[in-house]
Amino acid sequence: MRHPLIGNLGLLIYLIVWNVIIVAHFLVLYKYYELPLDTSITDALTFNVMLCGVGLSYWNVVKYTHVKEGDWQNLFSIHLPASLVAVGICMWPSSIILHLVYNQDVDYISFLEKAAVWRWVEGLLIIWVIILIYYLIKYYDDLQEKSKNEAQLKQLVKEAELDMLKAQINPHFIFNSLNSISSLTITNPENAQEMIVNLSQFLRSSLGKGKEELDTLKDELEHIMLYLDIEKVRFGDRLKVSQNIPDKCAMAKVPNLILQPLVENAIKYGIYETLRGVELNITANCKLENLEIRISNPYDPQGIPQKGAGIGLKNVESRMSILYGKGQWIRIERENGIFTVTLVIPQFENYI
């Protein structure tokens, strides 16, 4: 943080205030104590000009001491000695200078010594006011900084949420599904109606999720089956789904919508890279400490996808490591024309 008084109007105001102090100091000496004019001027200038400089550089003490909000004890234990040192720095040289210049003037020298206490008091009061002003400026700046950071953070969180939503519902999927419905209203209205209901349920549960990070396997699978039912209308015989989930795994916890990208990936490679179609197989296996979910699909080992490896799997991997720390949560195997993704999800509650 830069010096709050330097480089703007602050310095001008600061110097004007000091001028007032110096003039007041001079008037007190000249009118009230009836000291000679030159002595009054010199006395007022030496001490106050030094204090003015020290006051400016005192900012560094405020800047480099980090005191927790409301920790008054600590604040005093720093600034009391520091302000004493600051005033002392001005007292000593100014009194030496005045002694040297006016060593002939016995009256003045004796006044100087008697007035030392008041000079200390004056100096300390001024320094404390300066400290107070510094803290007010600093507090105000911090407040502004904080609200700026908060706004930025909110923006980031919102963007992340939006990205997540985008990732959840593929627009391609939605528009193709709507097109299938449009077609079924002509060829098979009964099925059109069923598909509308399926799609609505799927969208509703997609939108509802995302609040809670974890979901039960049962709910997650229901969601996935809705998705697959819709895809079956689009792809017909080319998509077959089988699943084998032991009942005891039903209440295991899984990150919500974690299966969606895996199933999408399986369909993409199964449907788009082969002409035969795809049989998707979902199985689960649960132990006390973790749940294993396997999704497999046949693929064409000679096939070359149009673009490189999907980001779907990578997203799942990074989401798992955000949730559970670094680890081997996802395994990929390609064997005998079968592509298998195994997801290991740690369990922390006794769910069986």
Q: Is 340 helix (H, G, I), strand (E, B) or coil?
A: strand
From its phi and psi, is residue 307 left (phi > 0), alpha (psi between -120 and 50) or beta? beta
Structure tokens at 349: 């509650």
Nearest to 267 by CA among 297, 302, 304: 297
C-alpha separations of 154 from 85, 140, 157, 158 in Å: 45, 21, 5, 6
By DSSP bridging, strand 290-298 and strand 278-286 are antiparallel
Task: Kindly tell me which of 129 and 309 has the beta carbon lying closer to other proteins.
Answer: 309
Task: Kindly tell me which of 24 and 197 has the beta carbon lying closer to other proteins.
Answer: 197
Nearest approach, Cβ of residue 209 and other proteins (Å):
24
Task: Kindly tell me which of 67 and 196 has the beta carbon lying closer to other proteins.
Answer: 196
240: which strand partners?
279
Rounded CA Rg of the chain: 39
Between CA 241 and CA 57 the distance in angstroms is: 76
Nearest approach, Cβ of residue 161 and other proteins (Å):
22
Nearest to 86 by CA among 114, 112, 62: 62
Task: Kindly tell me which of 22 and 181 has the beta carbon lying closer to other proteins.
Answer: 181
Between CA 3 and CA 59 the distance in angstroms is: 7
Between CA 348 and CA 328 the distance in angstroms is: 17
Task: Kindly tell me which of 106 and 304 has the beta carbon lying closer to other proteins.
Answer: 304
Nearest approach, Cβ of residue 288 and other proteins (Å):
42
Q: Where do we find the tokens 């040192």?
A: 85
CA 232 to chain centre: 42
Task: Kindly tell me which of 17 and 174 has the beta carbon lying closer to other proteins.
Answer: 174
Length of the chain: 352
Task: Kindly tell me which of 63 and 238 has the beta carbon lying closer to other proteins.
Answer: 238
Nearest approach, Cβ of residue 174 and other proteins (Å):
8
Nearest approach, Cβ of residue 171 and other proteins (Å):
8
Task: Kindly tell me which of 39 and 206 has the beta carbon lying closer to other proteins.
Answer: 206
Task: Kindly tell me which of 180 and 342 has the beta carbon lying closer to other proteins.
Answer: 180
Structure tokens at 77: 């234990």
Structure tokens at 128: 């404390």
Nearest approach, Cβ of residue 160 and other proteins (Å):
21
Nearest approach, Cβ of residue 280 and other proteins (Å):
16
What burial class does residue 256 get, using C-beta atoms within 10 Å of its C-beta: 0-12 exposed, 13-18 middle, 19+ buried? buried
Between CA 41 and CA 296 the distance in angstroms is: 94
Q: Which positions lie near other proteins, rule CB under 8 A?
A: 171-172, 175-176, 178-184, 186-187, 233-236, 238, 271-275, 303-308
